[in-house]
Structure 1
Amino acid sequence: MPAERISCDVSSAPAAVAHVRRMVPEPASVADAVREIIATVAAGGDSAVLDYERRFGGSGDPLRVGEGELAAALAALPGDVRSGLEMAIANVGEVARAGADPEAEVVLAQGQRVRLREVPVGRAAVYAPGGKNPYPSSVVMGVVTARAAGVERVVVAAPPHPLIHAAAVLCGADEVYRMGGAQAIAALAHGTETVPAVDVIVGPGNLYVQEAKVQLSGRVGIDGFAGPSDLCLAVSPGVELEPLALDLLAQSEHGEDSPVVAVSSDAGLLDALAARLDADGGRGIRVLVHASDTEAVLSFLEGFAAEHLQLAGADAEALAPRIRTAGLLLVGEHSGTAFGDYVAGSNHTLPTDGRGRFASGLSARDFRRRMAEVRIGAAAADALARAAVPIAEAEGFAMHAASMAARMRENRPS
């Protein structure tokens, strides 16, 4: 299927973005089906999960993967795959540890101290999708980042596969559960006889998995809703196009609903990319955007808020500091998106569907929460009460006012 060609300037860039986003088909609604699965698992525990596993093609074997099976999977792992996973584990871990926020303490004018403490959640789950292929890289991205955050217990849930099991062992997961789909998310959120309830669930998955995470987000923390993956390439003169065309084609492997977009103010570069993409003969959403100038390129990029944004060519370094909305920004002709998927050290769990406008990729912060710790001395309490009592009275909270007024200097026992 030939790539679609569109044009834009700064003023029409929002319309061009909307046009490309409309090309992605709306997912079918599975809300009611997922709601039923969650309720059934919450009530039925292990037996309900196993029933759904058998119904949806699972083995029906015990939910927890045994130590012997995990050890066998690791022993059978090809050496080159193990070396690659170990590099990914090291790089992702180093970046994740560097991204943890330091604690802060503030002494305010009235004398009270407010300390902002970073504390990890107690239990986290990493979901890895099944389907046509296993994704051990998703295990790495989730488990290693949770460990870097200081999470005490980290478990993996996924349809059973030796690659998943081996990756979980290499990453140091505490338990592995052979279950997938919405029933796995429900089990992790509610807990069953075998599966302990967790505090946070992260990881990609199909529409049922994503819907279950959204429905259960009031009970557990989640990393967000993952829609179809996307890639936007902004290319300017001075680069070899073949690797960049392969980057676009690689992104299409995620599915026919995964948009790949190339943007440039150079029509000749787009013509060359179009010829290479069309020669591939594949299907999917492929769009070439001819922008009137560099500012129009930037307007499109910021509006599209790509999950993956590659900048290649003479303008790459100048554009990079101006990008605010990409899930992952890859700068330079050698910075292919596939490296970010595996071993670059950045996380590949990223905001999709333009959510980079307000959301971030997975990091240690998704497994930590910030807790304020307040210490108020007598002098500070007196000053604060004089300011806050009128507010509480205005809001109609008499006991709030009384509890603070009791700490005024004149109201304390002598």
Structure 2
Amino acid sequence: MTDSITRLSTSQSDFDSALASLLAWDDSVDHQVNESVRHILHEVKTRGDAAVLEFTGKFDRLSVASMAELELSEVRLQEALARIPEDQRVALEQAAARVRDYHERQNQASWRYEDEDGTVLGQKVTPLDRAGLYVPGGKAAYPSSVLMNAIPAKVAGVAEVVMVVPTPDGVVNDMVLAAAAIAGVDRVFTIGGAQAVAALAYGTETVPAVDKIVGPGNIYVATAKREVFGVVGIDMIAGPSEILVICDGNTNPDWIAMDLFSQAEHDEQAQSILVSPDGAFLDAVEASIAKLLPTMEREEIIRASLAGRGALIQVADLKEAAQVSNRIAPEHLELSVEDPEAMLGDIRHAGAIFMGRYTAEALGDYCAGPNHVLPTSGTARFSSPLGVYDFQKRSSLIGFSASGADRMGRVASVLARGEGLTAHARSAEYRINE
């Protein structure tokens, strides 16, 4: 197994370049994909429902006469909720309750204050009118993503959440529909791909135009979201999933190996990295990887991910481990150490921080409460997890009293004339008491 996962040490002379090479991920969009997506977007923008029906027939092999056949009713969602096994329904409801409770604490109210001359200043917080939620379909069914994307929107006060989910060959995933029912999704269309993104962005005769599109998808969906940004808001352009584990060497190596697997099994481009000051522990985890890998259903994907983008990195101490982590800015960071709180102050960049040996990243994916839609590819340096704030916008409130307009009008006049904008100056000067 030693030749299957990269071993690095911060003491090696070429560590910086070796780490940079390991982290490199090409997110440039294939020219052919770009052309195809732009064609689809244009067709849906100009021809609406007719184009969506054509592309759904072509890509999902669904031949239907009208868009009405591609919309699922609230009754259908409730039927799915009733049909899934009870343990799945209970698990979805428990996860939803925790996600809702966590996100309700993010909800920000409008605020205002008054200064000494009676001028009112503040901020009005308003939910988006309508949000679009893209959910992968077919083999890749993620009911957890429905909860993570729809619940913050509803907590924020979004009036209408519109979900799109492809159903190739007519295969519908009841667990996804049940999650939509639990999360309070308002409308569901069984469409996918770039055509679904286009329908949400531009609107068609049947699909209403939304203000923001969130949710994961394949390269065509990601490219379409990138293209329509500006017409609508988007959550982020997500790269491959990532986990970085910092361990002091005292956690069961089997646990750590499985935590690394939990991201590697997503796809071959996923990245799993372990950082520890204990070289013998890195050896033990490598042995656990070799032992446990043959037991995994997605063995080949995990093997390719670990071989191509995984690493075991030895550092001098936990302080240096935090420095390496900050450079990587991982999507998921596990602090599998005795005192995670003591390390927290050194951590600057991470999408989500999992503290302590018992806090498996997998819990965050499903039911911990915080959102699992997180910044990838180093963007945790400047980005945050999806949250209620992503479904709200803020308007500044400014209300001058007569004395305030007099006092600040004099300031504005000087600044405006300094910029050569006379109309600005005179507009302010009209309110000045001579």
TM-score (norm 2): 0.90
Instruction: Write the deviation string for residues 250-270 of structure 1: whole angstroms up to 9, x where unpaired.
Output: 111110100100001111111
| Residue 54 of structure 2: aligned partner | 51
| Residue 316 of structure 1: aligned partner | 340
Is structure 2 residue 42 aligned with structure 1 residue 35? no
| Residue 299 of structure 2: aligned partner | none
Is structure 2 residue 24 aligned with structure 1 residue 22? yes
Q: Is the CA contact (8 Å cut-off) linking 1:302 and 1:325 kept in structure 2?
A: yes
Alignment root-mean-square deviation, CA:
2.0
Q: Is the CA contact (8 Å cut-off) linking 2:319 and 2:346 kept in structure 1?
A: no
Sequence identity of aligned pairs in percent?
38
Q: Secondary structure at the match of 2:70?
A: coil
Q: Secondary structure at the match of 2:137?
A: coil
Shift of 1:23: 6.1
Segments of structure 2 that go 5 or more residues without pairing to the other structure are 295-302
Query: Is 379-388 or 165-174 further displaced after alignment?
Result: 165-174
Q: Secondary structure at the match of 2:335?
A: strand
Shift of 1:169: 1.0
Alignment match of 1:114 (pick from 107, 118, 121): 121
Q: Is the CA contact (8 Å cut-off) linking 2:117 and 2:401 kept in structure 1?
A: no
Q: Is the CA contact (8 Å cut-off) linking 1:157 and 1:177 kept in structure 2?
A: yes
Q: Is the CA contact (8 Å cut-off) linking 1:237 and 1:314 kept in structure 2?
A: no
Shift of 1:208: 1.3
1:384/1:129 CA distance change after superposition, 3 Å: same
Aligned residue type for 2:6: E
How do 1:52-91 residues align onto structure 2 when only pairs under 5 Å count? 52-61=55-64, 62-91=69-98
How do 1:137-156 residues align onto structure 2 when only pairs under 5 Å count? 137-156=144-163
- CA distance in 2: counterparts of 1:27 and 1:5, whole angstroms: 30
Q: Is the CA contact (8 Å cut-off) linking 1:325 and 1:357 kept in structure 2?
A: yes
1:398/1:11 CA distance change after superposition, 3 Å: farther
1:58/1:201 CA distance change after superposition, 3 Å: farther
Q: Is the CA contact (8 Å cut-off) linking 1:14 and 1:300 kept in structure 2?
A: no
Alignment match of 2:258 (pick from 223, 235, 246): 246
Is structure 2 residue 217 aligned with structure 1 residue 205? yes
How do 1:196-345 residues align onto structure 2 when only pairs under 5 Å count? 196-279=208-291, 280=293, 282-284=303-305, 285-345=309-369
Is structure 2 residue 384 aligned with structure 1 residue 377? no
1:150/1:251 CA distance change after superposition, 3 Å: same
Q: Is the CA contact (8 Å cut-off) linking 2:251 and 2:336 kept in structure 1?
A: yes
Alignment match of 2:106 (pick from 84, 92, 99): 99
Shift of 1:13: 6.3
- CA distance in 1: counterparts of 2:19 and 2:77, whole angstroms: 46
1:374/1:283 CA distance change after superposition, 3 Å: same
Q: Is the CA contact (8 Å cut-off) linking 1:123 and 1:154 kept in structure 2?
A: yes
Q: Is the CA contact (8 Å cut-off) linking 1:312 and 1:333 kept in structure 2?
A: yes
- CA distance in 2: counterparts of 1:212 and 1:300, whole angstroms: 34
Segments of structure 1 that go 5 or more residues without pairing to the other structure are none
| Residue 412 of structure 2: aligned partner | 388
1:406/1:14 CA distance change after superposition, 3 Å: farther
Give the paired residue count: 410
- CA distance in 1: counterparts of 2:23 and 2:115, whole angstroms: 47
- CA distance in 2: counterparts of 1:324 and 1:10, whole angstroms: 25
1:131/1:82 CA distance change after superposition, 3 Å: same
1:333/1:16 CA distance change after superposition, 3 Å: farther
TM-score (norm 1): 0.94
Q: Is the CA contact (8 Å cut-off) linking 1:86 and 1:170 kept in structure 2?
A: yes
- CA distance in 2: counterparts of 1:23 and 1:34, whole angstroms: 22
Q: Is the CA contact (8 Å cut-off) linking 1:13 and 1:299 kept in structure 2?
A: no
Aligned residue type for 2:142: Y
Is structure 2 residue 417 aligned with structure 1 residue 399? no
Shift of 1:110: 5.4
Alignment match of 1:157 (pick from 150, 158, 164): 164
- CA distance in 1: counterparts of 2:186 and 2:195, whole angstroms: 20
Q: Secondary structure at the match of 1:129?
A: coil
- CA distance in 1: counterparts of 2:312 and 2:392, whole angstroms: 40
Q: Is the CA contact (8 Å cut-off) linking 2:247 and 2:275 kept in structure 1?
A: yes
Aligned residue type for 1:334: Y
| Residue 166 of structure 1: aligned partner | 178
1:194/1:276 CA distance change after superposition, 3 Å: same
Query: Is 322-331 or 158-167 further displaced after alignment?
Result: 158-167
Q: Is the CA contact (8 Å cut-off) linking 2:29 and 2:223 kept in structure 1?
A: no
Shift of 1:384: 1.0
1:11/1:4 CA distance change after superposition, 3 Å: closer
Query: Is 187-196 or 390-399 further displaced after alignment?
Result: 390-399
Query: Is 321-330 or 273-282 further displaced after alignment?
Result: 273-282
How do 1:7-18 residues align onto structure 2 when only pairs under 5 Å count? 7-9=9-11, 14-18=16-20
Q: Is the CA contact (8 Å cut-off) linking 2:330 and 2:376 kept in structure 1?
A: yes
